[in-house]
Structure 1
Amino acid sequence: MLLDQGNVLLAVGRAAIAQALNLDFQYPVDESASWLQDWGASFVTLTQHHELRGCIGSLEAYRPLVADVRSNAVSAALHDPRFLPLSADEFETIAIEVSILSPTQRIAALNEADAIRQMRPGIDGIVLEYGRYRSTFLPQVWDELEQPQQFLAMLKRKAGLPVDFWAADLKLARYTVSKWRETDGMEDYRHG
């Protein structure tokens, strides 16, 4: 995707949050473009003062990309269970990042060491599934968890599993993302 498309996705996300907060925010976006109507999976991450403020997404494409970004933006702002809902007063203090996910690709691993060898730091987002347990980390999480062993351990913890857990039927999959981020939150919309 192109930079211009990324800017459209950021605007779609911000406009959706503004509408959910009943704020008067106008940013002209033509949502009829064919690429926005293609099915896509996205994650929307909100930060406030460089700290996580919400992150919700879809691992699989099941609706038009524009609808997925809109819904995930509102969910990240208002329904991430780790945070209180975003207030109208906070709207101008958040920065939005939109990540568009590739289809997942299964990692066939004989054991945990084999899985770790196959992980590509800084490139792969990883999905972990074991029975009713499921979690994912976007590739951006490698910035904080640089070692594959640590990345996988924290992914297991996020799923509710012990960090040293391994089972033959544990499933791992990888994906990549194209991502765009507002540099200074609302500042991006005050210029131009």
Structure 2
Amino acid sequence: MSPPHSLDPAQRRGLIGLARQSIEAGLRTGQRSTYAPAAHDAALEEPRATFVTLRIQDALRGCCGTMEPQHSLAGDVWRNAWASAFNDPRFPPLTSAEYPRIDVHISALSRLEVLPSMSEAELLAILRPGIDGLLLRRGTSQATFLPSVWEQVPQPAEFLRHLKQKAGWPATFWAPDMQIHRYTTESFGERD
């Protein structure tokens, strides 16, 4: 799994600004605006998957993203910022009153690394707490945890149990045909 190039501070600020612009446009119009590429540097126009997380006073307020590159890095941030604010099914749409209190955090994902079929014990042995994001898929069910989830769930066995439950499976579930992917993120936010 080769990590993509690192974003410099100006690129990070630009992406945070784009996320805010997308949310502001949604507050004005009530719908997602079309992303219009501007004169960004080339790194922001490369295909890359992202997650955008919104928090108010450290409480989650929305988080949406993509697992595989479908758009440019900037375009993906634009779409996921709007989705996090207005289309996360766990929360009502963000209001104008809440907007000034949100903190925007972006996670730019590496390419997914497909892990070979293995036992649960073998997976637990190779997981890197604090580094690895994990995606589990089986049939039409899937779930992912970004590497930042390790802060709340630091033990690999517990991390995996919670992820399986997020997918709708029992905590003890394991299937040999489960698809396992790992990835890393470059994460940054307004308070970084």
1:19-98 paired onto structure 2 within 5 Å: 19-22=25-28, 31-98=39-106
Tell me by how many angstroms 1:63 deviates.
Answer: 1.1
Counterpart-to-counterpart distance in 1, 2:51 and 2:99: 19
Q: Which residue of 1 aligns with 2:172?
A: 164
Cα distance in 1 for residues equivalent to 2:39 and 2:165: 38
1:110 CA displacement: 2.4
- Tell me, which stretches of 5 or more residues in structure 2 are unaligned? 1-6, 30-36
Equivalences for residues 83-162 of structure 1 within 5 A: 83-162=91-170
Identity between Structure 1 and Structure 2 (%): 39
TM-score by length of 1: 0.89
Number of corresponding residues: 179
- The corresponding residue for 1:182 is 190
Q: 3-state DSSP class of the match of 1:18?
A: helix
Comparing 59-68 with 101-110, greater Cα deviation is found at 101-110
1:121-176 per-residue CA deviation (whole Å, 9 max, x = no partner) reads 00000001011110100000000000000101111111111110001111111100
Which residue is 1:190 aligned to?
Answer: none
Q: Secondary structure at the match of 2:97?
A: helix
**Aligned partners of 1:105 and 1:37: how far apart in 2?**
22
Alignment of 1:8-23 (within 5 A): 8-22=14-28
Partner Cα separation in structure 1 for residue 159 and residue 189 of structure 2: 23
1:78, 1:110 → 2: CA distance?
38
Q: Distance in 2 between matches of 1:75 and 1:170?
A: 28
Distance 1:131 1:163 in 2: 17
Q: Secondary structure at the match of 2:28?
A: coil
Q: Distance in 1 between matches of 2:55 and 2:45?
A: 27
Equivalent position amino acid for 2:26 in 1: A
The secondary structure found in structure 1 opposite 2:143 is: strand
Say yes or no: does 1:2 pair with 2:8: yes
Distance 2:18 2:102 in 1: 15
- Tell me if structure 2 keeps the 8 A contact 1:7–1:180: no
Q: Is the 8 A contact 1:31 1:66 kept in 2?
A: no
In the alignment, residue 12 of structure 2 is paired with which amino acid?
A: G
> 5+ unaligned residues in a row in structure 1: which ranges?
24-28, 185-192
Change over 3 Å in CA distance of 1:31–1:156 after alignment to 2: farther
Q: What TM-score comes out, normalization by structure 2 length?
A: 0.89
| Distance (Å, rounded) in 1 between the aligned partners of 2:83 and 2:114 | 27
Letter in 2 for 1:82: R
- Relative to structure 1, the CA distance from residue 31 to residue 127 in structure 2 (aligned partners, 3 Å threshold; closer, same or farther) is farther
